[in-house]
Amino acid sequence: MIVLTTDSFPGREIEPIGMVRGSTVRAKHIGSDIVASLRNIVGGEVKEYASLMAGAREQAYDRMVAEAERLGADAIVAARFETSN
């Protein structure tokens, strides 16, 4: 599946067939949360949260692609990604 963040696909005609999305919600593990809190004191990247966010984004992306495939799409244009806490 081709996924573009642009509103156009150069050289291809776009036929809109619907909107797709991929969402996920992740909960922090208490053990990881304690380690992250300690790491926050000394500064630097909080690897426990970065890993959690990367996994969530990958799962949301996969869900978006799966939904597009169910609709019979061969590409997704104007994809947007948002992360919040």
Portion of the chain with pLDDT greater than 70, in percent: 84
pTM (2 d.p.): 0.78
> Mean pLDDT over residues 59-67, rounded?
97
What pLDDT score does 76 carry?
Answer: 97
| SS3 labels along 17-58 | CCCCCCCCCCCCCHHHHHHHHHHHHHCCCCHHHHHHHHHHHH
Which stretch of DSSP H or E encloses residue 77? none
